[in-house]
Amino acid sequence: MNAHLFGYVSYRNAAAALGWLSACGFTIVRRIDDDAGRVLHAEVRLGQAVVMVSNNDDDFDDTVLVDRPSAHGLYLMVDDVDALYARAVAAGATPVIPPEDTEWTTRRARVLDPEGNEWTFGSYEPGQL
């Protein structure tokens, strides 16, 4: 079976989130706004990684966990973990795990984006046999 997995993140202020993602190096490849200017659907790309972004529904309630991992999030494999971590924090992310070497011989770092979504940056490529 052939399959591809793409992340999807909704935000209270998706336009601001797109600004943060752009500051981290993502390119906005698609953006569809409603008449009020809310982001109905957007897609951002960094290398081969694609993430879909939208505004939350008005009644959406998601408790933001600040200063601790949320137990779910997005993992982005990159060539330079330290550089992306520095860009993300400079653009407003909250540090969770500064860049470090892991026991399994890879490099990783973790941040919460400006709305509290967890992003891990790492050198490890999951799913490789």
Please report whether residue 24 resides in a domain: yes
Please report whether residue 75 resides in a domain: yes
Token digits of residue 44: 């951002």
- Report how far residue 15's alpha carbon sits from residue 123's, in angstroms, rounded to the nearest whole number: 29
Please report whether residue 70 resides in a domain: yes
Which of 23, 18, 11 shows the shortest CA–CA distance to 44?
Answer: 18
Give per-residue pLDDT as tens, 8-57.
999 999 999 999 999 999 999 999 999 999 999 999 999 999 999 999 87
Please report whether residue 128 resides in a domain: no
Give per-residue pLDDT as tens, 86-125.
999 999 999 999 999 998 889 999 999 999 999 999 999 8
> Which CATH number goes with the domain that contains 93?
3.10.180.10
Cα 49 to chain centroid distance, Å, stands at 10
Please report whether residue 1 resides in a domain: no
Its domain, for residue 19, covers 7-57+64-122
Please report whether residue 129 resides in a domain: no
Helix, strand, coil tally for the chain in percent (to 5): 15, 40, 45
Report the half-sphere exposure of 107 (CA within 13 A, side-chain side): 11
Q: Based on the structure, what is the number of domains in the chain?
A: 1
Q: Would you state the pLDDT for residue 72?
A: 74
Q: Would you state the pLDDT for residue 101?
A: 96
- pTM over 0.75? The answer is yes
